[in-house]
Every structure is written in structure tokens, then in C-alpha cells.
Amino acid sequence: IRTTLYSADTILRYGMTPTLELQLGGSLWNRLDTHGVDVDTRSSGGGDTTIAAKWAPTLKSDKVAMAFLGAVTLDTGASAFTNGRPVYSLGATVSRDMKDGRAIAMYLNASIDGGRTTWTFSPNISFPITPAASAYFEAGRTVGGDAAGTVAGGGMTWLLHDRVQLDIYGLRGLDGQVPDLQAGVGVSVSWK
């Protein structure tokens, strides 16, 4: 059986202070196609809603950055695109500037879903391509819950304007219960 999911995710971010922002996110539109022997279905609808707060404390060193993201995802989506219950998560990332626009980072996240805890760990490295574009490579490992597995891939960011950024990414599932291929394109717009 082959399944393909298309999703239009959106996150609205509001900076409360220089170190604290609130986020409201969700997927307003999703489509899931399933094809196989004796199976040919298509579902569409909205996804669950996420409310989050991100805190990036000011550190003494300008070479190191850190951020924390706490979120709750509410089961507001259509039947094919909802978790069916709230999910609580807390993530942290720390990055180190390696000079010349290069950086390494580590990400750790814990999600609690119906009493089960899922852990995700993901290291990455980023580097500039041009003054307006950069790329990154990453790997990720998830354990616990129903989605244990490993992915690897990368992406690019391109600053089109001082307030508009284009992002693309691709991830390949290497083992476990993760999708074989994930890819996406995003646009970030900043208002002041």
C-alpha cells in the first residue's frame, strides 16, 4: 500500500519580547491518498491546532544560542487528520557558531501522547552558500510511541527580501515507522 500526504501547514508567530514568542499553528488543508491492491481512497480536511510558546534566553556568549519550545496540540482536525487527543511537547535546541556562517546544533524533544512519551534527537550542521542562501544537513532519531525510526536529509533557506525567506527540505526514512520520503517548501514573511 502506498500513501501520500499533502499538507498546508501554517504557523503564526508573535514576538512578545526580544526573547519570547507565542505561536499558533495548524494545517488548514490536508489530502491523504491511499493506493494499493483493492484500496483506492482519498481523504481531505483540516488538521489539529497547536498553541506554543518559544523562549530564547540571552546568553553571555554570542557563539552559543539556545531556545525552548513548549506546545500543546489540540485534537481539532478532521477524522483522517487528527491525533484524537491532546499532545504535549517540550523541545530544546542549542547551537554553536563555528565561524564563517557555519554552525552545528542539537535538538531534543519529548512528546506525551495518551500517556506514552516519544523522544526525538536531531543533530545538524548548517553552512552558507551565498550571502542570501544557506544549506543544512541533519539526521534524526525518534524512539518510543508509534513512530520510532531514523531519518536523514537536508534543506536550504534563501532570503529573497529582508522580510521574506524561502525554505525547502527533504528527508529520507532510513528505518522504523517513519515515512520513506518527506519534502516541503515554505515561505516565511516578517511584519513589524
Tell me the whole-structure pTM to 2 decimals.
0.89
- The mean pLDDT value for 110-136 works out to 95
Q: Is the pLDDT of residue 4 over 80?
A: yes
**Rounded CA separation 57/191 (Å):** 22
Give how far the C-alpha of residue 32 lies from the chain's centroid of Cα atoms, to the nearest Å.
Answer: 19
Q: Is the pLDDT of residue 130 over 90?
A: yes
Q: Is the pLDDT of residue 103 over 90?
A: yes
Q: Is the pLDDT of residue 146 over 80?
A: no
Considering the chain, what percentage of its residues have pLDDT values greater than 90?
Answer: 88
The burial class, CB within 10 Å (0-12 / 13-18 / 19+), for 133 is middle
